[in-house]
Structures are given as structure tokens and as C-alpha cells.
Chain A
Amino acid sequence: MNAKKKVIAMLLAGGQGSRLYALTQNVAKPAVPYGGKYRIIDFALSNCTNSGIDTVGVLTQYQPLVLNEYIGNGQPWDLDRMYGGVHVLSPFETKEGADWFQGTANAIYQNMRFIERYDPEYVIVLGGDHIYKMDYSKLVEFHEKNQADGTIAVINVPMEEASRFGIKTVDDENRVVRFTEKPKEPESTLASMGIYCFTWQKLKKYLIENENANTGSKDFGKDIIPAMLANKERLFAYTFDGYWKDVGTLDSLWEANMDLLSPSVPLDLYDRKWKIYARHNNMPPQYIGDSAKIENSMITEGSNINGEVDFSIIFSGVTIEEGAVVNYSILMPGTVVKSGAVVEYAIVGENCVVESGARIGTSPESIANRDDWGIAVVGHNVTISANKVVAPKDIISENV
């Protein structure tokens, strides 16, 4: 059955997520919880399986334990295949020596033997830190139709934000003519999503050349794409028009969760034709008590809610006692908010305890100087003692 695979995906999940620090001390960024019952990586993995891609290499190096355990044999995403399936690829030692992955291109280079085993025509390169639903088979179709060497998925961003992204300039046929990383004066609003489709033999050549050139960065955006452009390879931009959100910062993680509560945001977690799969933890349905008041929120199995919840995302196994108030916040699995505690505009990590009378975060309206306001963040396994105040913008990673 060792037939050639037409497409395989390589998922870059090595990100340390240093800007999510309080939440990524012991887990890689793709394993950070999102949306009530998911982890960030569930979106890329579910997209793969929903797009008919059954072979995925997940490249990890930072704090891989939780991610390895979470992915396991890939069964929750239907990626436990006889031939193919999901494989977690960590840096390894060869007779030339051992190396950490030095950049996105180097990470793929070091795992060329994994790719070659499947002799694919195309390789899709994905990041593990975005929330989006995308049919990669359409990207591959577009790539084939254009007889492209590389196709970069792009999304239209507002002009004022364009200078934060890698911006592509394209001709009438969507062929990429220029690429500028974080331009001061952007000449287009097509931002790279960090999602690529390559014809494998072509990519392989550039990976080897880049490795030998030793540019120092060994990165797709900085090295591979510019080199392909310089050699006039056929590079195309595939425009994606759905919801796509980077969750690289604490603010954007909070916003991406709040987006789920907005009727105008087109990210539907209830679409039976494009389910987002996750590893499951066997908890009973949530119990909503007599004194609960819940509006505009998402709440997951195993939770026990007796307090007030508004505009919040509550993960599995969370307890909110009577008299506790949770507004505009994200409570990750297993957290307990005791009676009289108030959590507003905050992210609280897994298995935290917010004791009675404690107060975490506050609304932007209640602060005189808006510059002093920001999301309050509590890391995993932290206890906030009774009547303690965690100010807006504070990031707490130890018991207080």
C-alpha cells in the first residue's frame, strides 16, 4: 500500500509563543487552549483531515510534552492511518551531529527524509498558531491549475495594518511579482498567511540551496520565497476570504475568543460539514444551577455554573460559584471562581483558583487613562487569594 501521496502537510508547531508567556511556560503555543474546548492546533489538523490530507508531519521543539501527548496517534482528527497519518517530528541526532531547528525552512530541511518516504507531488507548509477554517484542497487545485512552483495563501488586510505583515504584490494573473516583509509603505493589502503549497521537487532544490548558502535565517519568508522570486519561479498568490486570526499575543488570543461570540464573525463551530475536532476528556454535560445568569457566552462540558456569566468563553470542568461574576473573560479548563470573586476582561489559565472576593481585571470604561488598561492574565495552576486584586494589564504566573 505504499503508494505515492499526492499531497502531504508539514505543520510548523515549534513556536515558543514568547508573547503568550504566562500561558506557554510549559506548553508550546499550538497547544494553548482556545474556544472552549479546542487547542489552537486543532484548527490546522481538522482543516487537513477535512481537506482530505491524511499525512501530516508536526514539527516541534519547544516544550513538546503536552503537544505530543495531545496529538497522540492522531485518532481524534481521524489521522491514525495505516499508511500516513500524523507524525510528531522532533529534532534528532545524525552522524553529522545534532541540531535544533534553526528556522522554518531548516525545520523542513531536517525532515526531508520523512517527506521523501511519501514521494509527494505537493507539500503544504502550515503554521500552528492561527484560527481559521480553510479547504487546502482548493489551494492545491489553484496551484495545479497555474502550474505553479509555489503558491502562497494571502488574505486582504486593512491598509493601516498592512505594514505588520509580509505583503505580496501580484499581477493580473495572481502571479507574485514582489514580496516585502513588513513594508513601511505597503503597495498592496495582500498579506501572507504563512500557508504555502509547493511542488515538492522544486522546494527540495531551494531547501538544499538555502541550507548550503547559510544565510543565518533559513526561513520561508526571508529566504525561500525571495530566492524563488529572484529566479523567476512561478509563484502565485491564492486569496482566502474567510475568517483568519493570528493568536500570537495575549490581546489577540482574547480577541479571537471574543470573536466567537460576535454574530458578525464568520467562524462557525457548529457546521457539521467542517467540524473542528479535538481530543476529548469524558466529562458529563454542564450543569447550570438555579442562581446562574448566562448570556452571550460559550460554556463546555463538565462545567458547573451558579454565578453570572456574560460575554465569556468557559472551558471544560470550570466551576463558577453563586455570587461570582465573570464578564468578557476566558476561563481555561478546570478553573474555579469562588463566590464573590469578579473576573472581567481577563484570561485565566488552566486549573486556577480565584478565591472569594478576589478581583481580576476591569472594564476599559472604568479606567480614567485608557493607556493603563489591558487584558489581565493569570497563568496556569495559579491561586489568587481572597480579596486580592489583579490589575488590568497584569500578567500573573505565580500564586498571589
Chain B
Amino acid sequence: MGVNNNVLGLIFASLHDSTVVELTKQRTMGSIMFGGRYRLIDFPLSNMVNSGITEVGVITKSNYGSLLDHLGTGREWDLARKKGGLNLLPPFSQSNGDGVYRGRLEALNNVWSYVQNSKCEYVVLSDCDYVANVNFAKVIDKHIETGADITVVYGKYKYSEDSGLCVDVLEMDDEGRIQSVLIDPQISGEVKICLDMYVMRKDFLSKLVKDAASRNQYSLIRDCLQARVKENVFMGYEFDGYFSRIDSVRSYYNANMALLNSDNRNALFKPNAPIYTKIGDNGPVKYGLESKAANSLIADGCIIEGTVENSILFRGVKVGKGSVVRGCVLMQGTTIGDNCSLTSVITDKNVEMENGRVLTGSESYPLYIGKNAKI
């Protein structure tokens, strides 16, 4: 892994918050818990670090307390550095704008002096709604090789009734040049969808941001990619690895459950490109007398005395004696008493359930229990 000193990473932690209102009530999209011990921002952030990027700015909007707590100085991502490193860019952190923004270009205008001060030549932009292990170094290489104005990372995606995703679809010619961009179209069959990750030169981005500001525009996809597809050269870069998208409670549930498949897990958690996260200093998982666990992903600090099947358990979850947990996503600190039964339930952080309670959702409509709820 070389060092990409001339690349700045920019992560939008708060875009798409409105797609999963339940989960972002008290946090940003980037700080949604995922996969047992991660938060969504860990994926783009680790991808950048694993691609040799040593300077990353994280743009937020509101509810960013948990994000600040999670990222800290950036040490766990090796970004606590004198040169570059991690910078959190909450609204009002710069004097350029009024803090509120409607899209990527407006958000960037607000923090432009930070971007301007970076000595980087290229920028990598990423949102937090796609979970994937992407090597940006390869995207950057391709970008330089083709001389494109913007390189857009896309994935092949087969539309199906129960996926229910709202996606942006790219249409390309044989050389990979983007010909048109369709925002949330009616689709069927296999399409190429934009994974919300972009590479471009900083000076090109600068022009986009200033142009948009002067025309009261804000959307990178609509006001730039879609509008200027003929005058500029936008190239697609195919990411052919595993990805999932979170844009509803249901897709959040499905994306977590998809980790019970070992191919998906191995594609996401690679020993040579690990996903870093904040360390919790929990003990190992403790399995009690008569505990049963099958087909589950279980993070450290859990204490299991009952039965857990087809579930994702985050750090420090307790499952009492005689309780049965099936098809559930139990976030950090959930405490299930004795003789409870949970089927297809998502519990947010620190939910407590007294002995003998029964909760049942369905796979296509999982039951979501909010943070700190007592049942």
C-alpha cells in the first residue's frame, strides 16, 4: 500500500439521512451501526485509508454527536496525523456558507476553504449509503489513465421486486463513457447503478462548486453529471465486488442479514484491506450453559445464555436464559431478559426487554424498536 499524498478523501456523512428516518433520529447516516461492530462511515473511511489516502474530511449536517464520538482523532483509522489526517467538517465550521446545504456541491461550497488549503491534486468523494470494500487507488489510476473529468464508481445491479431500492442508473458507451444519468427510474433487469463514489481533479471540482453556487444549484448528480454529460467526459469504473445499499429500514435489515453468507462476508472483510472501527475493549463472547447459537454474526462483549439463530448481535448484547432470538439485528447494549422471544426484530442501542416478552416482525417488514426503549 503506497501513500497517495496528492489525494484528498471527502465523505458525506449526512446525505441520505432522510431515507432511514428511524435510524437517523439521533445520528447521521455515517454513524448507523452495521454488521455487528461497525458504523457505516467505517467502510468509505477504511477504503480510503486502505487506498493510501492520508487526508480525509468528513462533512456532516446535524445529529453528529455520535459521529464525533465514533471518529475521535481518527486514530483507529491511522488518521491521527500531523500532516493531513482526519478533519471533521460540521456545518458552520467555515464562513463560506450559511451552514445548511441541500446537496453535495452546496455542502462543498460551505467547506471549500478546507478543500482549497489541501495540497491535493485529486479528490475522492464518497457517501455512506453503500457498504463495500472498494480499492480507490485503482479508481484513481483509471481516472488518470482515461483523462476523464469525473470517474464514477458503478456496480451491476439486478432489479427485483423485494429490493425496493431507489437508485441512480448510468448508461455508458463501449468505452465506458457515461451517456446519460437516470435518477430513480422505473427499471427492470440488470442495470449499472452509481455507488455514490467519485474521483476528479480538485480544480475541476472547484469549478463545479463555484458554478453551482453562482447559479443556485447544489446537486452533483442532477446539476453536473446529468446536465453536463455531453460537454464533459464522465467515465464509469466498474466495481465488481460485493456491495449493498441502505436506503430503508428493510434494506438495512437485508444488508445486515446478507453478512450471514460467507461469500459476502469474505468480500467485505478482507485480511489485506481490513475495515477499521472504534475499539470497544469488550471481553470475548461468553456462551453459557445450554446456550445455542447458529448461523449468526456475534460481536465481542455479548453474553449468550439462550438461543440465537440467523441473527446479527452487536457488542455487549445480552440474551437471557430460555430466550429465543431469530432473524434479529440487535444493536449495541441490547439486553434481553429470560424467556423472551424475538423474531425479525431490529433493536436500536441499549434497548432493554424484561423477562417473558414476545415480539414478532416479519422478514419483509422487520419490527424496529428505538434507542433506549424499555419493553
Chain A contact residues, CB within 8 Å of chain B: 35-37, 75-76, 269-270, 275-278, 280, 282-301, 309, 313-314
B259-302: contact bitstring with A at CB < 8 Å (1 yes, 0 no)?
01010010011000011110101111111111111111111110
CB contacts under 8 Å to A, within B332-365, are none
- Inter-subunit contact A278/B285 (CB<8 Å): no
A275 surroundings in chain B (CB, below 8 A):
281
- Within the complex, which residue of B37, B265, B287 is in contact with A294, where a contact is CB–CB below 8 Å? B287
- Within the complex, which residue of A37, A280, A283, A294 is in contact with B283, where a contact is CB–CB below 8 Å? A37
Q: How far is the CB of A174 from chain B (nearest CB, A)?
A: 34
Smallest CB gap from B316: residue in A:
A270
Find the residue from A35, A280, A284, A314 having the highest chain B CB count within 10 A. A284
- Inter-subunit contact A295/B265 (CB<8 Å): no
B313 surroundings in chain A (CB, below 8 A):
285
Determine whether B25 belongs to the interface, using a CB cutoff of 8 Å to chain A. Answer: no
- Inter-subunit contact A284/B36 (CB<8 Å): yes
Main secondary structure of the interface of A (DSSP, over half): loop
Smallest CB gap from A291: residue in B:
B294
Q: 5 pairs across A/B with beta carbons < 8 Å?
A: A286-B298, A288-B295, A298-B285, A301-B300, A313-B284
Q: How far is the CB of B31 from chain A (nearest CB, A)?
A: 18
Complex-state Cα separation, A395 to B299, whole angstroms: 33
- Inter-subunit contact A284/B265 (CB<8 Å): yes
- Inter-subunit contact B281/A278 (CB<8 Å): yes
**Beyond the given A37-B284, A298-B287, could you list 13 further A-B residue pairs with CB under 8 A, ordered by the A residue number?**
A282-B276, A283-B269, A284-B268, A286-B285, A286-B298, A287-B296, A288-B295, A288-B297, A288-B298, A289-B294, A290-B294, A295-B289, A299-B284
Determine whether B85 belongs to the interface, using a CB cutoff of 8 Å to chain A. Answer: no
Smallest CB gap from B38: residue in A:
A284
Complex-state Cα separation, A177 to B256, whole angstroms: 64
- Within the complex, which residue of A270, A287, A298 is in contact with B265, where a contact is CB–CB below 8 Å? A287
Smallest CB gap from B285: residue in A:
A299
Chain B contact residues, CB within 8 Å of chain A: 35-37, 75, 260, 262, 265, 268-269, 274-277, 279, 281-301, 303, 308, 312-313
- Inter-subunit contact B300/A288 (CB<8 Å): no
- Inter-subunit contact A285/B298 (CB<8 Å): yes
- Inter-subunit contact A284/B301 (CB<8 Å): no
- Inter-subunit contact A284/B283 (CB<8 Å): no
Complex-state Cα separation, A37 to B301, whole angstroms: 11
Complex-state Cα separation, A253 to B285, whole angstroms: 20
- Inter-subunit contact B300/A277 (CB<8 Å): no
- Inter-subunit contact B288/A287 (CB<8 Å): no
B285 surroundings in chain A (CB, below 8 A):
286, 298-300
- Inter-subunit contact A75/B75 (CB<8 Å): yes
Complex-state Cα separation, A280 to B37, whole angstroms: 13
A313 surroundings in chain B (CB, below 8 A):
284
- Inter-subunit contact A270/B35 (CB<8 Å): no
B284 surroundings in chain A (CB, below 8 A):
35-37, 269, 298-301, 313-314
- Inter-subunit contact B295/A270 (CB<8 Å): no
- Inter-subunit contact B287/A295 (CB<8 Å): yes
Complex-state Cα separation, A353 to B136, whole angstroms: 35
Complex-state Cα separation, A284 to B264, whole angstroms: 13
Q: How far is the CB of A291 from chain B (nearest CB, A)?
A: 8
- Inter-subunit contact B286/A298 (CB<8 Å): yes
Complex-state Cα separation, A299 to B300, whole angstroms: 8
- Inter-subunit contact B300/A300 (CB<8 Å): yes
B294 surroundings in chain A (CB, below 8 A):
288-292
A298 surroundings in chain B (CB, below 8 A):
283-287
Smallest CB gap from A314: residue in B:
B284
Q: How far is the CB of A95 from chain B (nearest CB, A)?
A: 37
- Inter-subunit contact A296/B296 (CB<8 Å): no
Complex-state Cα separation, A278 to B299, whole angstroms: 16
Known: A37-B300, A285-B297, A288-B293. A297 touches B287 (CB 8 A): yes
* Closest A-B pairs by Cβ, 7 of them: A36-B284, A269-B283, A285-B36, A285-B299, A298-B284, A284-B269, A300-B284
Smallest CB gap from B295: residue in A:
A290
Known: A282-B274, A295-B289. A288 touches B269 (CB 8 A): no
Q: How far is the CB of B170 from chain A (nearest CB, A)?
A: 31
Smallest CB gap from A275: residue in B:
B281
A291 surroundings in chain B (CB, below 8 A):
294
Complex-state Cα separation, A297 to B313, whole angstroms: 17
- Inter-subunit contact B283/A276 (CB<8 Å): yes
- Inter-subunit contact B300/A270 (CB<8 Å): no
Q: How far is the CB of B35 from chain A (nearest CB, A)?
A: 7
Complex-state Cα separation, A90 to B36, whole angstroms: 41
A285 surroundings in chain B (CB, below 8 A):
35-37, 297-300, 312-313
B303 surroundings in chain A (CB, below 8 A):
270
Q: How far is the CB of A326 from chain B (nearest CB, A)?
A: 13
Smallest CB gap from B291: residue in A:
A295
Find the residue from B285, B291, B294 having the highest chain A CB count within 10 A. B285
A276 surroundings in chain B (CB, below 8 A):
281, 283
Known: A75-B75, A275-B281, A292-B293. A284 touches B275 (CB 8 A): yes
B35 surroundings in chain A (CB, below 8 A):
284-285
Complex-state Cα separation, A91 to B294, whole angstroms: 51
Q: How far is the CB of B131 from chain A (nearest CB, A)?
A: 13
Q: How far is the CB of B224 from chain A (nearest CB, A)?
A: 36
B262 surroundings in chain A (CB, below 8 A):
287
Q: How far is the CB of A268 from chain B (nearest CB, A)?
A: 9
Smallest CB gap from B262: residue in A:
A287
Smallest CB gap from B36: residue in A:
A285
- Inter-subunit contact B283/A270 (CB<8 Å): yes
Q: How far is the CB of A334 from chain B (nearest CB, A)?
A: 11
Smallest CB gap from B296: residue in A:
A288
- Inter-subunit contact B281/A277 (CB<8 Å): yes
Q: How far is the CB of B28 from chain A (nearest CB, A)?
A: 23
Complex-state Cα separation, A223 to B262, whole angstroms: 60
Smallest CB gap from B311: residue in A:
A288
Complex-state Cα separation, A293 to B294, whole angstroms: 8
Complex-state Cα separation, A37 to B289, whole angstroms: 21
A270 surroundings in chain B (CB, below 8 A):
282-283, 286, 301, 303
Complex-state Cα separation, A275 to B282, whole angstroms: 8
Complex-state Cα separation, A292 to B36, whole angstroms: 19
Q: How far is the CB of B51 from chain A (nearest CB, A)?
A: 16
B299 surroundings in chain A (CB, below 8 A):
285-286, 301
- Inter-subunit contact B297/A287 (CB<8 Å): yes
- Inter-subunit contact A295/B288 (CB<8 Å): yes
Q: How far is the CB of A308 from chain B (nearest CB, A)?
A: 12
Q: How far is the CB of A42 from chain B (nearest CB, A)?
A: 10
- Within the complex, which residue of A284, A287, A290 is in contact with B37, where a contact is CB–CB below 8 Å? A284
A269 surroundings in chain B (CB, below 8 A):
283-284
Complex-state Cα separation, A366 to B276, whole angstroms: 46
